[in-house]
Amino acid sequence: MSESEAPRLKKISVANQKGGVGKTTSSVNLAACLAAANYKTLLVDLDPQGNATSGLGIDRYVSNTIYDVLIGKVELDEAIQDSYLPNLKVIPANQNLIGAEVELINAISREKKLKTALKKLTDDYRFVIFDCPPSLGLLTINAFTASDSLLIPLQCEYYALEGLGQLLNTYQIVKEDLNEDLQIEGILLTMYDARNKLTHEVEKEMHQHFPKDVLETKVPRNIKLSEAPSFGRPVVLYDIDSKGCHAYLDLASEILVRNHYPKPDWKEFISTQREAQREQAKPAQEENVSEAAAPTVQVSAEEIFVMSSEVVPEVSVEIEEVRIDEVKSEDAVLSEELSFSDEEMEPVQTPEVLIDEPTKVEEVAETAVVTDSVQHEQPQNLNV
């Protein structure tokens, strides 16, 4: 089917009630890649957290959001915001969206509020991407009812498989009661780590149970995908050469081919973005270099010796003076504690050995030996 025969508008819900599976990352970057392929795309943020809104550098606290559209306060076109990509438009969301489910409980056809609002969308749009909240509540049901297909990001873990069953049950209910044309666009494996054995086991299970629905594209773990939202950019405008960026370019190509669009040639876009990102990086690199560079001064060996002889003795003298003062102070304290008068001093009596001048040293030694032997013999006399 040629491009002219392709459907004029394709509405895709990116949903998974389990959080942290790359749902918002996939919504933002898929929409950005479709827009980069020159297809006008509308990204509708249906998550009260508003991560898709802030991830594209749009203020979440603008006057008109998807909440105002759902409650009938404003028309759809009044809530559309521009992004850094000319072909990518955004309807933002914030925490006010939490109240929409409560306010729409008693509303007639509350499951079709979003579908009704989209009828007024202009014909020049080719894709609408819904970033659904991590739940299966009324907002997700509205997205399913308004969509043509469902894209399921699936993290390669056991708990993700459990959540998939609940999501497919909801899909069947909506398909039977609210939107019989709803199809599964595909199952996208995210945070793919080829080194992990569990990753391959999950992939094998998915191919066995959903052979036609598992997409060929696998989104790897990539730090650039995590950094890009902090700069308010999709990854194609943040790092065009990253693995995460190329994964979403491949995903966009696969989605386009599945919907009978021609496969885009990304060479020109990649080349343009690579050059633009290099130009953006130059001022930051020059600033970092200027801050890191220190002035170099050439000093001869003689000057170093003179400088060391002038500086080192002064430091050592100060340290010695401090130590001497400390020692002096300690000596003063000790002298005060140990000082006493002559009157307080008592004479020490020591035994004196008086030896007459004619007496010889040998005789004194003999006397000591005899005395010692007598002392040793005393216990024997006591026993008797």
Q: What is the pLDDT of residues 172-217, one digit of tens each?
A: 999 999 999 999 999 999 999 989 999 999 999 999 989 999 999 9
- Residue 53 φ/ψ region, left for φ over 0, alpha for ψ in the -120 to 50 degree band, beta for the rest: alpha
Task: Work out the pLDDT band at 163, boundaries 50, 70, 90.
Answer: confident
6-39 pLDDT, tens per residue? 567 999 999 998 888 999 999 999 999 999 999 9
Specify the higher pLDDT residue, 245 or 122.
Answer: 245
Residue 68 falls inside a structural domain? yes
Residue 65 falls inside a structural domain? yes
Dist CA 384 CA 380 (whole Å): 7
Q: How many domains does the chain have?
A: 1
99-109 pLDDT, tens per residue? 888 898 888 88
Nearest partner of 24 among 108, 104, 90, 114, judged by Cα: 90
The one-character DSSP state at 107 is S
Residue 31 falls inside a structural domain? yes
Residue 254's pLDDT is 97
Residue 107's pLDDT is 86
Cα 215 to the center of its chain, rounded Å: 27
Range of the domain at 219: 8-289
Residue 327 falls inside a structural domain? no
Return the CATH number at 266.
3.40.50.300
CB atoms within 10 A of CB 81: 17
Phi, psi dihedrals of residue 325, rounded to the nearest 5°:
-60, -40
Residue 379 falls inside a structural domain? no
Residue 305 has pLDDT above 50, yes or no: yes
**pTM of the complete model:** 0.73
Please, what is the average pLDDT of the chain? 81
Residue 339 falls inside a structural domain? no
Residue 316 falls inside a structural domain? no
Residues 6+ apart with CB under 8 A from 164: 16, 152, 154, 187
Residue 188 falls inside a structural domain? yes
Token pair for residue 150?
């469902």
Residue 270 has pLDDT above 60, yes or no: yes
Task: Work out the pLDDT band at 60, boundaries 50, 70, 90.
Answer: confident
